[in-house]
Amino acid sequence: MNTDKKQHEQDYLDNKVIDCPWCWKDKPNHSCGNCYTEMTQENCWKYEGFCSEKCFKYMKEELPRIREEKMKHGIKCTCDDPNCYKCIGGNCKDEICPTHTALAKLLARKSL
């Protein structure tokens, strides 16, 4: 952990700043950077801004692998949110995007 993050943690604990150094929510709230679930400060700091080991591993290990695969296959979509309405509603033009599946796009467009 870099010294800036450590200092921000201490400032947060000393009530010098109100934004969490990991999830950036205002004190006393904390929410996961992946699934947006509310969580305790303990879990937020333990998993570096994520609610669980599952979300932490997804964002730190699985997502970079998915991004690499996308680039390798020439997929131009850089959005990582499978529920991004802009992408599934029409902005994602990649036919084989693993983030915004063809089924998700079809369902979103039918609901318009």
Residues 85 and 53 in one domain: no
C-alpha to C-alpha distance for 7 and 58, rounded to whole angstroms? 27
pTM: 0.68
Range of the domain at 46: 1-72
Report the amino acid identity of residue 29.
N
* 65-103 tens-digit pLDDT: 888 888 888 888 888 787 788 888 888 888 888 888 888
Q: Are residues 12 and 46 in the same domain?
A: yes
The verdict on 48 and 79 lying in the same domain is: no
Q: Same domain for 62 and 9?
A: yes
What is the rounded CA–CA span in Å between residue 15 and residue 19? Answer: 10
Task: Indicate if 96 and 56 belong to the same structural domain.
Answer: no
Question: What's the structural domain count of the chain?
Answer: 2
Q: What is the pLDDT of residues 15-63, one digit of tens each?
A: 999 999 999 999 999 999 888 899 999 999 999 999 999 999 988 998 8
Angle (nearest 5°) at CA 60 between 56 and 65: 130
56 with 96, same domain: the answer is no
Instruction: Provide the 3-class DSSP secondary structure of residue 38.
Output: strand
